[in-house]
């Protein structure tokens, strides 16, 4: 494959280093990213509609098919009736109502299996063809292992809502969401390396690169804090902005002891922390955008910065609207999707502003 023909055969001879664009592999990984994006949105909807605890068993191999007849549906429903969610929240739910929440969680789990298949089968094909070198194969194998562990973590999260209280642990929810973003970011970054292995122009100033990396980290931490907001239903409290209970800093900020527990279990502190992180991310992105406008950056870098600046404004508006409207399902799902879009654009901007990188 030559530098001037990116659509040529992706076969690599005698090297583990991809020095020229490898479009077929990049497109495959971008497709996997798109599927993970859908998975994140589906997960958010199952959480918002309280559908995630409708399936009380985890059968990663044999659980591919849903209940197929009335007796199987009654058996599945009977197992759900033994769960805390049914006993404490959905007592009296009939079979048809149960099917409404079951199908959403079933589709969520089925989509996870589909991601695994779409990743594994092409990987084995490319490996057999010799189209990927040793270093890249290690990256791809690592991604597959992480995806499998994410499925285990998802079940570990669900189990926390099947024992004593009809809700999953906010700690496990945050870990599950953070892992999804981390895996997505890993795949997206490698896909960018495959598509654009060389910088579009001279590396940007060190300050811009550091700021872009900081924004990636800030976005990730803000998403992590948002998972605690979701896990505690903290968005249903303090539905004003910018004040919380008539104050910039809520009175109940440090009611729990030890004080560190407030950041994970105190609704006031969790929501306040998320607001602060979101505003910090907004300001940092706008600073990067303004500094990028005054520096000589590549055309792709400029596009990434413009897209990032626009998206952070949209995402903040979505977050405030979701809060003020008492967390409608549709708007909250769009807000979660917006978080992943913002994270994607932050990664893209950081990639375009990078210096020389090792190849995969």
Quick: pLDDT tens for 254-298.
999 999 999 999 999 999 999 999 999 999 999 999 999 888 788
Q: Read off the pLDDT of each residue in 25-46 and give the average, rounded to a whole number.
A: 97
Question: From residue 105, how far is each of 39, 84, 154, 185, 228 by CA, in Å?
Answer: 11, 17, 12, 24, 21
| Residue 167 or residue 335, greater confidence | 335
Going from the C-alpha of 190 to that of each of 84, 182, 273, the distances in angstroms are 42, 12, 32
**Ranked by mean pLDDT, which of 19-33, 111-125, 283-297 comes out on top?**
111-125
Q: What is the mean pLDDT of residues 92-121?
A: 95
Q: Does 3 fall in a domain? A: no
The count of C-alpha atoms lying within 13 angstroms of the C-alpha of 32, restricted to the half-sphere facing its C-beta, is: 31
Mean pLDDT (whole number) for 318-342? 97
157 part of a folded domain: yes
105: containing domain: 20-197
The answer as to whether 290 is a domain residue is yes
Integer Cα distance of 250 and 256 in angstroms: 14
In this prediction, residue 213 carries a pLDDT of 96
Q: Is residue 6 part of a domain?
A: no
The pLDDT score that the predictor gives to residue 14 is 33
Answer yes or no: is 321 within a domain: yes
- 211 and 191 belong to one structural domain: no
**Are 155 and 275 found together in one domain?**
no
Which of 147, 169, 197 is where one domain is finished? 197
Residue 83's H or E segment, with its range, is: none
CA–CA separation, 17 and 145 (whole Å): 22
Domain boundary among 168, 197, 226: 197
Whether 185 and 274 map to the same domain: the answer is no
The Cα 151–Cα 169 span in angstroms is: 16
- Of the listed ranges 28-42, 177-191, 195-209, 294-308, the least confidently predicted one is 195-209
- Residue percentage of the chain with pLDDT more than 70: 91
First to last CA, the chain: 16
pTM for this entry: 0.91
For the chain, what is the total number of helices (H) and then of strands (E)?
A: 11, 0
Q: What is the mean pLDDT of residues 9-26?
A: 57
Shared-domain flag, residues 155 and 300? no
Q: pLDDT value at position 223?
A: 98
Please check whether residues 92 and 213 belong to one and the same domain: no
User: In percent, how much of the chain has pLDDT > 90?
Assistant: 81
Question: Does residue 278 share a domain with residue 357?
Answer: yes
Instruction: Count other Cβ atoms within 10 Å, centred on residue 284.
Output: 19
Is 207 a residue whose pLDDT tops 90? no
| pLDDT score for 17 | 41
Summary mean pLDDT of the chain: 90
Examine residue 56 and state whether it is found in any structural domain, yes or no.
yes
CB 46, CB 105: distance < 8 Å: yes
Cα–chain center distance at 196: 23
Nearest-CA neighbor of 54 among 5, 11, 115, 95?
95
- Based on the domain organization, do 172 and 284 belong to the same domain? no
Q: Is the per-residue pLDDT at 50 higher than 70?
A: yes
Q: Are residues 229 and 110 in the same domain?
A: no
Decide which of 197, 215, 241 is a domain's last residue: 197
**Claim to verify: residue 184 and residue 261 sit in the same structural domain:** no
What sign does the CA torsion over 169, 173, 176, 179 have? Answer: negative
pLDDT of residue 177: 97
Residues 127-174: tens digit of each pLDDT: 999 889 999 999 999 999 999 999 999 999 999 999 888 889 999 999
Is pLDDT at 10 greater than 70 in this prediction?
no
Classify residue 12: in a domain, yes or no: no
- The answer to whether residue 1 scores a pLDDT higher than 50 is no
The CA angle 167-174-244, to the nearest 5 degrees, is 80
Residue 87: CB atoms within 10 A of its CB come to 11
Question: Domain count of the chain?
Answer: 2
Query: 185 and 55: one domain?
Result: yes
Q: 187 in helix, strand or coil?
A: helix
Instruction: Report yes or no: 210 and 194 within 8 Å, Cβ to Cβ.
Output: no
Give the per-residue pLDDT at 203. 61
Residue 145 within a domain: yes
Instruction: Tell me, yes or no, whether 124 and 154 share the same domain.
Output: yes
356 pLDDT tier (thresholds 50, 70, 90): low
């Amino acid at each position: 494959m030559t530098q001037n023909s990116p659509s040529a055969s992706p076969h690599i001879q005698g090297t583990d280093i991809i020095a020229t664009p490898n479009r077929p592999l990049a497109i495959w990984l971008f497709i996997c990213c798109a599927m993970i994006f859908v998975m994140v949105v589906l997960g958010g909807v199952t959480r918002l509609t309280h559908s995630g605890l409708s399936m009380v068993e985890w059968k990663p191999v044999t659980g591919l098919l849903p209940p197929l007849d009335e007796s199987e549906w009654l058996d599945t429903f009977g197992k759900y009736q033994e769960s805390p969610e049914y006993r404490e929240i959905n007592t009296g739910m009939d079979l048809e109502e149960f099917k409404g929440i079951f199908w959403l969680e079933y589709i969520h789990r089925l989509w996870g299996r589909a991601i695994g298949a779409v990743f594994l089968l092409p990987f084995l094909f490319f490996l057999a063809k010799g189209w990927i070198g040793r270093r890249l194969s290690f990256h791809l194998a690592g991604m597959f292992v992480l995806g499998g562990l994410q499925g285990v973590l998802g079940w570990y999260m669900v189990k926390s809502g099947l024992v004593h209280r009809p809700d999953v642990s906010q700690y496990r929810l945050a870990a599950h969401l953070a892992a999804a973003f981390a895996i997505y970011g890993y795949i997206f970054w490698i896909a960018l390396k495959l598509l654009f292995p060389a910088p579009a122009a001279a590396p940007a100033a060190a300050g811009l690169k550091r700021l872009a990396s900081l924004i990636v980290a800030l976005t990730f931490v803000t998403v992590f804090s948002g998972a605690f907001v979701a896990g505690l239903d903290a968005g249903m409290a303090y539905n004003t902005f910018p004040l919380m209970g008539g104050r910039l800093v809520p009175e109940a900020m440090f009611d729990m002891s030890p004080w560190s527990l407030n950041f994970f279990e105190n609704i006031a502190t969790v929501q306040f922390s998320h607001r602060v992180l979101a505003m910090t991310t907004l300001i940092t992105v706008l600073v990067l955008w303004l500094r990028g406008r005054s520096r000589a950056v590549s055309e792709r870098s400029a596009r990434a910065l413009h897209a990032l600046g626009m998206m952070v404004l949209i995402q903040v508006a979505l977050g405030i609207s979701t809060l003020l409207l008492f967390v409608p399902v549709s708007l909250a799902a769009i807000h979660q999707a917006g978080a992943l879009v913002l994270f994607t654009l932050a990664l893209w901007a950081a990639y375009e502003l990078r210096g020389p990188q090792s190849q995969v």
